[in-house]
Amino acid sequence: MPHRGGGTWKIVLAAIVAAAILIAGAFATGLLSIGGDKESVTLTGAGATFPMPLILKWADEYYNETDQSVRVDYAGGGSGAGITQIKDNNVDFAGTDAPLSAADSTTYGLVHIPETLGAVVVAFNEPTVSSLKLNGPTLARIFMKNITAWDDPEITVLNPGVTLPSEQITTIVRSDSSGTTFVFSGYLAKISSEFDELYGQGKSVSWPDAIGASGNSGVTQTIKTTAHSIGYIELSYAIENDVPFAQLENHDGNFVTASLETTSAAAASFTLPAGDGDWSGVNILDQPGANAYPIASFTYILVYKELHNDGSSMNKTAAQALLDFLWWCVHEHGQAYGPDLHYAELPASVVAINEATLNSITYDGEVLR
């Protein structure tokens, strides 16, 4: 006897299978319809920890501003890891403090979007010292281990009236491939020809006799728990974790403290290339200016100029969501969150460069903005 309603059940089963295929496809591309006409998008990023507090803040605020329809997951991991991830098309965007080489920008079709300005500070844990002044040559000699004690004459002459102990200095550095290291070593290489010759600028440096830690947070915590230590971290990590940091002598011979104002002063008269141009030589280290902080840096988002490239599974909806998120980040809504986290807002001239870059990004050859 034939099963009653067999034709109906076949239709229902076919509909269920079709729905399952659609849902699986939605998950595979980071998209899923979640009621009404709104589509949910998840964007993924990885890389620099230098701007990570700000990127995570942006992700939270944008999620709420889009009625929870656009989620941004940023994994950190360091600039080197982020660059590798974006080159392999494993993430939608990467964060880096170290600009790409001109060859990499061209080969991979990646563009630079300056997202914010920050400062690398020289944080220290010397229990008997609450304030410290250093200059570039002395700092380079400390990290080269030419200066090994806190009461070395090169340090004491910069700090009259401060009693420095005879304790040995422990240097704390990044163990991962790091944009913060790129910025810090770039400053030392610019100031000290000896450092430049022996170590040079890089995301990874073979520091002599140093303790390594992963990420800005790892270095911060290692400094906090290691007496007589000194290391380099992004400004927001120092302030949020109550770690003291040194005043540094700038290009004009003034000792300045890292702040929003002194970081912005370092970028006041600097001209940047177009987003798809050569950024490999861009830095605002040791810039002239009475109030310019000497270890300031832009930090960047990297994205593909053509979002539907050979290695990408991104669909057009996700591509549009990515551009809309980045547009929001570099304009007043996103930039307004920077100062509370100790990042300087982008100058109007840099915002204009970002607008031109975002307006040039395509999906299947079609401009999305």
| pLDDT digit string, tens, across residues 84-93 | 999 999 999 9
Which run of H or of E encompasses 218?
helix 215-225
Question: Residue 38: pLDDT band by 50, 70, 90 thresholds?
Answer: low
pLDDT for the residue 120: 98
What are the residue boundaries of the structural domains of the chain, listed by start?
10-117+298-367, 119-272+284-296
Using alpha carbons, list the distances in angstroms from residue 319 to 33, 180, 312: 16, 29, 11
Q: Provide CATH code, domain 119-272+284-296.
A: 3.40.190.10
**What percent of the chain is predicted at pLDDT more than 90?**
87
More confident residue, 200 or 4: 200
Alpha helices in 43-176 (DSSP H): 52-65, 79-87, 102-108, 136-143, 153-156
What integer is the mean pLDDT of 198-219? 98
Residue 37 pLDDT level (bands cut at 50, 70, 90): low
Distance in angstroms (rounded) separating the CA atoms of residues 189 and 181: 12
Burial 148-157 (b: 16+ CB within 10 A, else e): eebebeebee
**Average confidence (pLDDT) over 52-63:** 98
pLDDT score recorded for residue 12:
37
Asked if domains 10-117+298-367 and 119-272+284-296 share a fold, the reply is yes
Mean pLDDT of 137-155: 99
Q: Residue 306 above 50 pLDDT?
A: yes
pLDDT in tens, 245-304: 999 999 999 999 999 999 999 998 788 999 999 999 999 999 999 999 999 999 999 999
How large a percentage of the chain has pLDDT more than 70?
90
Confidence class for position 311, pLDDT limits 50, 70, 90: confident
What class has domain 10-117+298-367?
Answer: alpha beta
Global pTM value? 0.87
Residue 16 has pLDDT above 50, yes or no: no
Structure tokens at 216: 């800005």
**Is residue 90 within 8 Å of residue 186, measured between CB atoms?**
no
Average pLDDT estimate for 135-159: 99
Residue 22: the pLDDT is 38
